[in-house]
């Protein structure tokens, strides 16, 4: 048996890990019923591949090989535990018996996608809401505990405890690892939609770090949105997928080649992805035909007005304000009120916009939200009130942790001087 060079195999495994590790992990969680055991077994399988493939060659289908190897690694682990805990022996026999049917199961691109099962498990109503996002980002999307903690401005220790408690709840309840029945799905759908959009938002505008966007997160959220649309093509499911596609369509134009932030008004619209816009608009039109649509569909409608406009000057700001008026009636959040205020400024001028932004800030919920202070600063700048603009930009600068945003705000302050 000829030896194969190790370095190309290491590179192949690195690529497989980046592309498929969350898929493999989701399948192993289904097969093993234990998050931590599945993750440990997956890492052992990748290590085994690095050891064996240089001599045996790369399997024709690497992913099933990794899943099968990980399963055997997990059973070996459980057998060792069974020497001290008799209940583990019964679990070993169960896992060995179920594998034959598991090997005949369809690939993950079916509706019964293991990652879709996993996200419904992570968003189970028995779990506290703060655990939904943490578990989904950690287990479905593969972010580290430190990355999630930084994104949501909590300590890694707090985040880790949250995840450990949620996993214990899933194991001890036990919470079944499955897509809900049609009867159960409506009450479970809201939490799943919220989590998918939070994952998308973290990719679309990272809370911290050196880059504005994280394409792997927006791509994963859109993929989950597609799966959910196939499973449950309801107005808000289509509305969310439409919204994500329309926002993602602008990604290539949102930063310069050097990574600098580019605002909507200055973006090269020829870089916008027209295929994503067309798909998003088609989904939006389907969602709007129903009377059952909600906030995601209305946000998608606002994004569509932007996507179909040739420039900021030619954007139908009256329509956007009207859509925000409807949105605040069903989702009266401070951020929605802030976005409406910015749209009013584009329709009626910066003085009107400033009045509405001040009213939003007076309520206090957005006191530590840098975009609120940045929007206020922009109104002052447009009105020629330089000192007040500088003060608001400095407040925004003190609150943001994203490097391109910091550089943008620093440049605004420099221009004012």
Residue 377 has pLDDT above 90, yes or no: yes
pLDDT in tens, 56-66: 899 999 999 99
How far apart, in whole angstroms, are the C-alpha atoms of residue 414 and residue 390?
9
CB of 357 closer than 8 Å to CB of 371: no
Residue 269 has pLDDT above 50, yes or no: yes
For the chain, the structural domain boundaries read 6-103
- The confidence score (pLDDT) of residue 199 equals 85
CB of 351 closer than 8 Å to CB of 341: no
User: Of residues 183 and 195, which shows the higher confidence score?
Assistant: 195
How far apart, in whole angstroms, are the C-alpha atoms of residue 239 and residue 189?
13
Region 108-132 average pLDDT: 79
The secondary structure of the chain, three-state, reads: CCCCCHHHHHHHHHHHHHHHHHHHHHHHHHHHCCHHHHHHHHHHHHHHHHHHHHHHCCCCCHHHHHHHHHHHHHHHHHHHHHCCCCHHHHHHHHHHHHHHHHHCCCCCCCCCCHHHHHHHHHCCCCCCHHHHHHHHHHHHCCCCHHHHHHHCCCCHHHHHHHHHHHHHHHHHCCCCCCCCCCCCHHHHHHHHHHHHHHHHHHHHCCCEECCCCCHHHHHHHHHHHHHHHHHCCCHHHHHHHHHHHHHHCCHHHCECCCCCECCHHHCCHHHCCHHHHHHHHHHHHHHHCCCCCCHHHHHHHHHHHHHHCCCCCCCCHHHHHHHHHHHHHHCCCHHHHHHHHHHHHHHHCHHHHHHHHHHHHHCCCCCCCHHHHHHHHHHHHHHCCHHHHHHHHHHHHHHCEEHHHHHHHHHHHHHHC
Residue 301 CA: distances (Å) to CA of 45, 124, 343, 371: 46, 30, 14, 22
Is-above-0.85 flag for pTM? Answer: no
Angle at 145 between CA 396 and CA 366, to 5 degrees: 25
* The two structure tokens encoding residue 410: 């620093």
What percent of the chain is predicted at pLDDT more than 90?
Answer: 59
> Which residues touch 61 (CB under 8 Å, ≥6 apart)?
none
- The confidence score (pLDDT) of residue 95 equals 57
Region 190-207 average pLDDT: 85
Give the confidence band of 183 by pLDDT, cuts at 50, 70, 90.
confident
Residue 110 has pLDDT above 70, yes or no: no
Lowest-confidence range among 53-57, 375-379, 389-393?
53-57
Long-range contacts of 366-373 (CB under 8 A, 24+ apart): 366/334, 366/335, 366/338, 368/399, 369/334, 369/335, 369/338, 369/399, 370/395, 370/396, 370/397, 370/398, 370/399, 370/400, 370/405, 371/338, 371/396, 372/338, 373/399
* The two structure tokens encoding residue 42: 């997956």
Give the confidence band of 390 by pLDDT, cuts at 50, 70, 90.
very high
User: Of residues 304 and 152, which shows the higher confidence score?
Assistant: 304
- The confidence score (pLDDT) of residue 104 equals 45
The average confidence (pLDDT) of the chain is 88
Residue 108 has pLDDT above 60, yes or no: no
Lowest-confidence range among 240-244, 254-258, 267-271?
254-258
What percent of the chain is predicted at pLDDT more than 70?
Answer: 89
- The confidence score (pLDDT) of residue 31 equals 85
- The confidence score (pLDDT) of residue 96 equals 53
Give the confidence band of 84 by pLDDT, cuts at 50, 70, 90.
low
Residue 75 has pLDDT above 60, yes or no: yes
User: Of residues 259 and 325, which shows the higher confidence score?
Assistant: 325
**β 401-402/208-209 pair status:** parallel
Give the confidence band of 202 by pLDDT, cuts at 50, 70, 90.
confident
Residue 113 has pLDDT above 80, yes or no: no
User: Of residues 272 and 152, which shows the higher confidence score?
Assistant: 272
Region 166-173 average pLDDT: 91
- The confidence score (pLDDT) of residue 215 equals 82
Lowest-confidence range among 26-35, 102-111, 244-253, 308-317?
102-111
Region 186-212 average pLDDT: 81
16-42 burial, b at 16+ Cβ within 10 Å, e below that, comes to bbeebbbbbbbbbbbbbbbbebbbbbb
């Amino acid at each position: 048996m000829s030896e194969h060079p190790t370095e190309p195999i290491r590179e192949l495994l690195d690529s497989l890990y980046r592309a498929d590790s969350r898929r493999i992990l989701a399948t192993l969680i289904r097969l093993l019923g234990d998050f931590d055991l599945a993750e440990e077994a997956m890492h052992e399988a990748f290590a085994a591949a690095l050891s064996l493939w240089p001599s045996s060659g790369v399997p024709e289908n690497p992913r099933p090989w990794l899943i099968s190897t990980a399963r055997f690694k997990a059973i070996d682990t459980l057998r060792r535990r069974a020497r001290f805990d008799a209940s583990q022996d019964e679990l070993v026999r169960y896992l060995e018996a179920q594998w034959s049917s598991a090997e005949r199961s369809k690939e993950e691109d079916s509706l019964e996608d293991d990652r879709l099962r996993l996200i419904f498990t992570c968003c189970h109503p028995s779990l506290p809401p703060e655990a939904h996002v943490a578990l989904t980002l950690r287990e479905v999307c593969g972010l580290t505990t430190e990355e999630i903690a930084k994104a949501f401005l909590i300590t890694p220790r707090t985040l880790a405890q949250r995840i450990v408690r949620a996993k214990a709840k899933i194991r001890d309840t036990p919470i079944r690892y499955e897509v809900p029945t049609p009867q159960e799905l409506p009450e479970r759908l809201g939490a799943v939609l919220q989590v998918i959009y939070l994952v998308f938002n973290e990719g679309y505008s990272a809370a911290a770090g050196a880059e504005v966007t994280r394409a792997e997160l927006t791509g994963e959220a859109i993929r989950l949105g597609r799966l959910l649309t196939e499973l449950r093509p309801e107005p808000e499911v289509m509305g969310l997928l439409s919204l994500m596609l329309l926002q993602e369509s602008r990604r290539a134009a949102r930063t310069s080649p050097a990574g600098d932030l580019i605002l909507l008004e200055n973006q090269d619209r020829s870089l916008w992805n027209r295929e994503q816009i067309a798909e998003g608009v088609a989904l939006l039109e389907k969602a709007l035909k129903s009377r059952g649509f909600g906030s995601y569909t209305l946000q998608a409608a606002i994004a569509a007005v932007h996507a179909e406009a040739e420039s900021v000057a030619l954007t139908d700001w009256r329509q956007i304000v009207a859509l925000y008026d409807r949105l605040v009636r069903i989702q009266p959040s401070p951020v929605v009120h802030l976005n409406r205020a910015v749209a009013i400024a584009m329709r009626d001028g910066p003085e009107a916009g400033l009045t509405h932004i001040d009213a939003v800030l007076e309520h206090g919920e957005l006191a530590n939200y840098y975009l609120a202070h940045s929007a206020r600063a922009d109104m002052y700048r447009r009105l020629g009130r330089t000192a007040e603009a500088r003060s608001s930009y400095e407040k925004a600068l003190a609150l943001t942790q994203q490097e391109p945003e910091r550089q943008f705000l620093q440049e605004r302050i420099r221009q004012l001087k």
